[in-house]
Amino acid sequence: MSHKAAKIGITSVVLAVAFAGLLWSTLSEGTEYYKHVDEVMTNPQAWYGKHLQLHGHVVDGSILRKRDTLEYRFQVHANGQVVNASYTGIVPDTFKDGSEVVVKGTLGPDGFAVEPNGVMAKCPSKYEAQAGPATQSGGPGTY
């Protein structure tokens, strides 16, 4: 093997290792799973501490707001599985009982801890036909 071929080979190996290391470090920090509540709650311990986007619907009557704060506790369900969630911050106007939500955060033994600005909700009444007169939700309760 000539001297020039050895230099090219060594340079290629160094670049490949550097690229692989950069790719691994970038992906390991930014990995976030998009899952439905029922997928996660069948084996919650496997998901503890992982960054998740959790999709489901707010359980009717479960939204509680701590008096004079922006602390919320609520439940999210999908296909018979339920997870307790806690969030501190401003919630979207569309965050109501029964609304479809995606919450971002981490799951732990005490439930799902939603990160700041981690609540995304849509109002089903805007996208589906309603049967009968529209009713307005009475807003969240307090705890």
How far apart are alpha carbons 52 and 136 in whole angstroms? 31
CATH 3.90.1150.10 fits 32-129, yes or no: no
Q: How confident is the model at residue 7 (pLDDT cuts 50, 70, 90)?
A: confident
Listed by start position, the domains of the chain span 1-31, 32-129
Rounded CA-CA distance 103/113 in Å is 9
Ordered DSSP codes for 23-74: HHHHHHHH--EEEEHHHHHTSGGGGBT-EEEEEEEEPTT--EE-TTS-EEEE
Local structure of 74: helix, strand or coil: strand
Q: Does residue 135 surpass a pLDDT of 60?
A: no
124 phi and psi angles, rounded to 5 deg: -65, -25
Buried b (16+ CB within 10 A) or exposed e, 44-60: eeebeeeebebbbbbbe
* Backbone CA torsion sign across 66, 70, 71, 76: positive
For tokens 């998009």, the residue is: 34
What was the pLDDT predicted at 28? 62
pTM for this entry? 0.67
The CA distance from 20 to 11, in Å, is 14
- For residue range 37-94, what is the model confidence (pLDDT) as tens digits? 999 999 999 999 889 999 999 999 999 999 999 999 999 999 999 999 999 999 998 9
pLDDT score at 5: 84
